[in-house]
Structure 1
Amino acid sequence: MDIKRYVNDLALEARAGARALGRATTGQKDEALRRMAEALKKRAGELIKQNRKDIAYAEKKGLSRALIDRLSLNEKRINEMAQG
């Protein structure tokens, strides 16, 4: 699949998702957020492992320490994301 078609397909899916979200009840939205928070916490180890690779690449490319710090994930940051 070429990139133009891929991006177009993503845009169409996003539009459909936005419509569905607009029709969702508050309870449904709350449940979706709760499930996403659980998934973040459950996969924290995997997220941190992959983030380390991203950080190593960022360091190799010479990104600033401040930016690298903002991009870095750890258990505390993931838990804070899950808490909202």
Structure 2
Amino acid sequence: MIPLDADRTGMWPVESFRLFDDDQVNVELVAAYLTVTQPNEVAAYARTFAALADLAVHGDAARQLIENAVEALSAPGRAP
């Protein structure tokens, strides 16, 4: 889970993608679903995944983010 306030300086926004080993990436776009298999392009997605993974929190930190979001959504005065 990547916190909203994580520093993404220098990172392009990325589309949704699924990385399958070093062989294939599936990319979900607005009007198409792409399968990427060119090694240099797969490597670019692998680097992007690694950069995003470095921003991610796990365990107790991720649990705290989820708990904070639930609290914010169920705060008094918040419409259901």
Structure 1 and Structure 2 fold alike (TM over 0.5): no
TM-score calculated relative to the size of structure 2: 0.33
Say which structure, 1 or 2, has more relative contact order (CA 8 Å, 6+ apart): 1
Choose between structure 1 and 2: higher strand proportion.
2
